[in-house]
A and B are shown apart, each in its own frame.
Chain A
Amino acid sequence: MTAETIIQSLASGLLMGLLYGLIAVGLALIFGLMDVVNFAHGEFLMIAMYATFFLFAFFAIDPLLAAPLVAAALFVFGALVYLCVVRFAVRAKANAGMVQIFSTFGLAIVMRGLAQFFFTPDYRSITHSWLGGKTFSIAGIYLPVPQLAGALVSIAAFTALYFFINRTDFGRALEATREDAGAVALVGIDKNRVFALGWGLGAALVGLAGAIMAMFFYVYPDVGASFALIAYVTVALGGFGSVFGAFAGGIVVGLVEAGTTLILPPSLKSVGIYAVYLLVVFIRPRGLFGSL
């Protein structure tokens, strides 16, 4: 193992990690807003990838251009999921936690079933996008261009989110609702509207991630499941309730995954991620940046 291979794999790990952060941030946002873990998050990613694929296959729209369209579509979808399903789950008088887990889990199964029904279980891929298959080399390190683009989009999205939350009225309403949903009602903010917009925003962010992922990853009905688990770990590692914890969590997860593949066979690469999660929460039971 030379220093070069280590730097090479850590660099790819960093890019992947930024993308993991982007996949996870929607989850973190929704959790931070209303303490709900969306167990259909992976399926949100899956439909975003399908949307990107079909925009490419039927209209020859490159994933890079499709990304904003997909994000907008996912925004609407996320808001609808809140209004049609989650709104009722949050109202449950008994077992609220389990009702949220299993209503979103049921939704995930339905979405997977619908994807199988309409799109068949076949693996699909976008064969020739603008960036697909290209690499960029700097100082002897090769970086795949789609992942590089993903990393840049991720940084841009987090920056935009930072300003959005801190500088806009809606962002402040979001923060206020997170702090005390009862009190915001008193000052005339419609809690349901804020939640619906929060779900829309969370879904739009995972839509962005899906559009990037579709450039270099196979699209199939179960694709979300493997990324969803990593997204949960990313959010928990960063700390529930902290949107920017997801950013840090994603980078840690990406680097650990790359580091693990240097030592263990590739089929065990996730073991490193899971082990680091356990290590972190055993030492710090609220994640890296979470609040109790």
Chain B
Amino acid sequence: MDTAFNQRRRRDLIVAACFAVIAALVPLFVKDVYVQNIMVLTLMYAALSQSWNILSGYCGQISLGHALYFGLGAYTTALLFTKFGVLPWFGMLGGGLISAVIAMVLGYPCFRLRGHYFVIATIVIAEIALLLFQNWDWAGAALGIDIPVRGDSWLKFQFTRSKLPYFYFALGLACVAWLVTWWLEDSKWGYWWRAVKDNPDAAESLGVVVFNSKMGAAAVSAFLTAVGGAFYAQFVSYIDPESVMGFQFSLLMALPAVLGGIGTLWGPVLGAVILIPLTELTRSFIGGSGRGVDLIVYGTLIVLISLARPEGLVGLFSPRRKEPAR
């Protein structure tokens, strides 16, 4: 059946493939390390925001504690590697699985909560984890973990001479997160999630197993976020609790999706592409004074975009919309 919806999905896939190819070619022309660094971060945030969007955007369960899963991914990888010499790839997978399981264990009591009670529960759970990690001596406590350099290789997923391998991994991760979302949009789960988001009671009465759909969204979202965390640990080769598990980070992760368009396929990507370079550039060009000008610019931007485009920047690109009949 060739509905408009299917056509749109096919077009989305083609557009995404084109973007991925173009993005993959960019480093051939852009050799500047500083710019490459920004591109890696942009892709990472696109992936993280896309993962956050699955639980909070599609399923409507606003989590402002996703730094927990990011931190768990980062810490699992870093601890396994520095303490036991386990390759980061296993750490990445392990961190992802641990996060998915923890997301479901936490989801069991939390998904009964609604609205702000749920949001605050996600915040305080991540804060508890942050405080515990800050006081966990074996894991480096508040100082964190320095990941020792053992030579450049894909096997150890460490590269000191070039940013390019990180770039391609981040691109791959962003593509996977996008594809998972794309696939889920038209799956049974995708429909359930949107029903749960719009009206959980109505969804329940129509036979949607609300609780299980929330659990599924939480597990997928946490897994992908943790993989992002594992990547980040390898990329910066130093992690500490505040920078990977802090409340600020939970908000930063959500921001591209919110400004780009929450609960949309392209929102997180668009948000990250606009927001992250802008953040990094303001930070390095006017943030150097240490006087907070970068914060002023950044904050003003958030206020203006969220007020001017409540449905997200993605609305700017959507094809001609018919005005609803009045």
With an 8 A cutoff between CB atoms, is B307 at the interface?
A: yes
Q: Report A-chain residues with C-beta under 8 Å of the C-beta of B258.
A: 95, 98, 102
- B124 CB-CB contact with A under 8 Å: yes
Q: Please state if B113 and A94 are interface contacts (CB–CB under 8 Å).
A: no
Of the listed residues B247, B258, B298, B299, the one surrounded by the most CB atoms of chain A closer than 10 A to its CB is B299
A127, CB-defined interface residue at 8 Å: no
Considering only CB atoms and an 8 Å cut-off, how many residues of chain A contact the other chain? 52
List of B residues within 8 angstroms of A282 by Cβ: 109, 112
Binary contact track B281-305/A, C-beta < 8 Å → 1, others 0:
0000000001111111111111110
Complex contact A110–B299 (CB within 8 A): yes
- Whether A142 is near chain B, meaning CB under 8 Å from some CB there, is no
Q: A98-B258, A221-B292, A278-B124 are in contact. Are A236 and B116 (CB under 8 A)?
A: yes
Q: Is A281 touching B113 in the complex (CB atoms < 8 A)?
A: yes
Does B116 lie within 8 Å of A37, measured CB to CB?
yes
In which size bucket is the chain B interface?
Answer: 35 or more
Given contacts A106-B299, A233-B124, A286-B117, contact A268 B131 (CB under 8 A): yes
Chain B residue, CB-CB nearest to A37 = B116
Which label, helix, strand, loop or mixed, suits the secondary structure of the B interface? helix
Q: Indicate whether A102 sits within 8 Å of B255 (C-beta atoms), given known contacts A109-B298, A287-B117.
A: yes
Q: Pick the contact of B307 from A92, A97, A113, A240 — CB < 8 Å?
A: A92
Q: Is there contact, CB below 8 Å, between B247 and A229?
A: yes
Q: Could you tell me the distance between the alpha carbons of A89 and B305 in the complex, rounded to whole angstroms?
A: 11
* Smallest CB gap from A270: residue in B: B131
Summarize A's interface: helix, strand, loop or mixed: helix
B153 to chain A, nearest CB (A): 39
Does B62 sit within 8 A of A, measured CB to CB? yes
**A37, B118: Cα distance in complex, Å:** 13
The answer to whether B117 and A285 have CB atoms under 8 Å apart is yes
Q: Residue A85 contacts which of B115, B123, B307 (CB distance < 8 angstroms)? A: B307
Chain B residues within an 8 Å CB radius of A106: 299-304, 306
Chain A residues 4 to 44 lying within 8 A of chain B, measured CB to CB, are 31, 37
Given A236-B117, A267-B134, the answer on whether A94 and B292 have CB atoms closer than 8 Å is: no
Shortest distance in angstroms between A50's beta carbon and chain B's nearest beta carbon?
14
* Nearest B residue to A265, CB-CB: B135
Are A102 and B259 in touch, CB under 8 angstroms? yes
> Assuming A115-B292, A268-B135, is B62 touching A110 (CB within 8 A)?
no
Chain A 97-121, CB within 8 Å of chain B: the 1/0 string?
1110111011111111111110011
User: Residue A275 at the B interface, CB < 8 A?
Assistant: yes
In the complex, A225→B251 CA distance in Å? 13
Is A88 interfacial (CB 8 A cutoff)? yes
Interface flag for B146 (CB, 8 Å): no
Q: Closest 8 CB pairs between A and B?
A: A113-B295, A116-B292, A106-B302, A109-B299, A110-B299, A92-B310, A113-B296, A113-B292
22 contacts between A and B (CB under 8 A): A85-B303, A85-B307, A89-B306, A95-B311, A101-B64, A102-B259, A103-B302, A106-B304, A107-B303, A113-B293, A113-B297, A116-B292, A229-B123, A267-B134, A267-B135, A268-B131, A268-B132, A271-B128, A278-B121, A281-B117, A285-B114, A285-B117
- Beyond known contacts A106-B303, A113-B292, A113-B296: 17 more, CB 8 A cutoff: A85-B303, A89-B306, A102-B302, A105-B251, A106-B301, A113-B294, A113-B295, A113-B297, A114-B296, A115-B292, A116-B292, A117-B292, A117-B296, A225-B247, A233-B124, A278-B109, A286-B117
